[in-house]
Amino acid sequence: MKQIDARKLSCPAPVLAAKEAVENERPGMIQVLVDNDAAKQNVCRFLESQSYQVEFQAEGTDFLVTGTTDGKPALEREVVRVSEDGETEKIMVMIATDRMGYGDDELGLKLLISFIKTLKEMGPELWRLVFVNNGVKLTITGSEVLDDIKELADSGVHILVCGTCLMHFNILEEKQVGETTNMLDIVTAMQLANKVINI
């Protein structure tokens, strides 16, 4: 049986921990301890998608999610889209802010951090990650997602960081990851990408 204590982990860490355990170990039984209802629902939904029978019980203010299976769970098939020329599709993600959405800046920061930490789940289709405007602040010393962006770079994702933007904010020397680039490179990358996602 695999046991995971995912309390005090912010979304999507609890479900990613369960996913890693299922992919690497494929346990017949897995228990994940979480401390909020959203994490409970996310872990339950993921385990059900992997052919686990799922139950949960409250333990004080926490939830213990238990998944059991008679055999090896059927992992979701990795969908890799292929373009007309037989190549893996190339997705470019352009991040123009250090917050996601509008309304509450603290929530927006949490959402963007969660988004970047989850980007690796896109797999080989994630081709370029481009930072412009306030988004460049995510690539500098002290960024909460600097290690995650470095991990993406190490996996082969090409990171482009707008030089004009770095200079505007006077943080060019603080950049810790990616290639300092210009608008021509960014526009060219857009042309080459099969899909562009703007944040």
CA distance linking residue 148 with residue 113, whole number of Å: 9
118 & 21 share domain: no
Domains identified in the chain, total number: 2
144 & 190 share domain: yes
| Inside any domain, residue 73 | no
147 & 181 share domain: yes
CA distance linking residue 79 with residue 7, whole number of Å: 30
Question: What parts of the chain have a pLDDT lower than 50?
Answer: 75-80
| Inside any domain, residue 85 | no
Tokens of 105: 């800046």
Amino acid 72: pLDDT: 57
Amino acid 83: pLDDT: 54
Sequence-separated (6 or more) residues with CB below 8 Å from residue 184 = none
At 12-51, the pLDDT tens digits run 789 889 999 998 988 999 999 999 888 898 899 889 989 9
- Which residues constitute the domain of residue 33? 2-68
Amino acid 70: pLDDT: 80
Side-chain half-sphere exposure of 109, counting CA atoms within 13 A? 8
CATH number for 22 = 3.30.110.40
Amino acid 159: pLDDT: 96
Residue 32's closest CA among 49, 60, 10, 54? 54
120 & 46 share domain: no
178 & 119 share domain: yes
CA distance linking residue 63 with residue 32, whole number of Å: 8
37 & 118 share domain: no
106 & 60 share domain: no
Cα-Cα-Cα-Cα torsion 40, 44, 47, 52, nearest 10 degrees, comes to: 130
DSSP letters, 54-89, are: EEEEEETTEEEEEEE-SS---PPPP---B-TTSSBP
Tokens of 43: 């872990």
61 & 136 share domain: no
